Amino acid sequence: MRRLAVFDCDGTLVDGLAAVCAAMEQAFAASGAAVPHRSAIRRIVGLSLPQAVFALAPDLPGEHRAAIVDEYKNAFRTAREQGCVAEPLYDGVADLLDRLRGNDWLLGVATGKSDRGLAACLAAHGLSNHFTTLQTADRHPSKPDPAMLQAALDEAGVAADEAVMIGDTVFDMAMARSAGVRAIGVSWGYHAPEDLREAGAAATAHDAAQLERLLHD
């Protein structure tokens, strides 16, 4: 039986928080809106960009939020072109992915990143060919809608009970629950372990070795 492990990206595979915060701060400032605190930005990482901006500034007019979205895209694209985007892999992640592939796991990503952003991130770490299915915000509703995960299951040809979703936010856990997929949280990301368990995580891993053990349980 082939099994599918679907990973979130920011906060699970890589630590992209600094890059997200810098682009969000620049976007809000450029649009003339009050810049949110980094603790607030941390809470919305994982949502698709329009939903993230809405969560940060629900009282702004829609056209103002749309301008912030455009400014964010421009800021992030410019930073990447200038080589200023740091998205380091978390400890043990690359070796874990290699071992899972060697044990006949299929791998996928379900992320609030764009297609371009995810492709650049994976290429930077030599991971472009590791994944059977890549699902992004460009083609799906924002998490926690289950569409992203359901598309991953369909593309991999795997049933929900043969898959697991690994993520660091309550959005990942809720998405998995809605899709009928087992959810495992990771504590090294952006939401607290107790929040992940409350949102539906079957277990929470504190490092890559523990995550590997949980996947084989």
Q: What is the mean pLDDT of residues 133-139?
A: 96
Please confirm, yes or no, whether 168 is among the known catalytic residues. Answer: no
Same domain as 23, residue 8: no
Domain count, the chain: 2
Mean pLDDT (the chain, rounded): 96
pLDDT exceeds 80 at position 48 = yes
- Domain ends where: 58, 81, 104? 81
| Domain that includes residue 92, residue range | 3-15+88-215
Same domain as 188, residue 110: yes
Same domain as 31, residue 8: no
Band of the pLDDT at 156, cuts 50, 70, 90?
very high
Find tokens 């949980």 and name the residue.
214
Q: What is the mean pLDDT of residues 177-186?
A: 98
In this structure, the chain runs to a length of: 217
Same domain as 154, residue 93: yes
Please confirm, yes or no, whether 10 is among the known catalytic residues. Answer: yes
Question: Helices 170-179 & 147-156, crossing angle to 10 degrees?
Answer: 60
Q: What is the pLDDT of residue 1?
A: 67
What pTM, to 2 d.p., does this model score? 0.94
Band of the pLDDT at 197, cuts 50, 70, 90?
very high
Query: Which position among 8, 15, 168, 172 bears the catalytic label?
Result: 8
Among 131, 140, 207, which Cα is nearest to 178's?
140
pLDDT exceeds 80 at position 162 = yes
Domain CATH code at residue 203: 3.40.50.1000
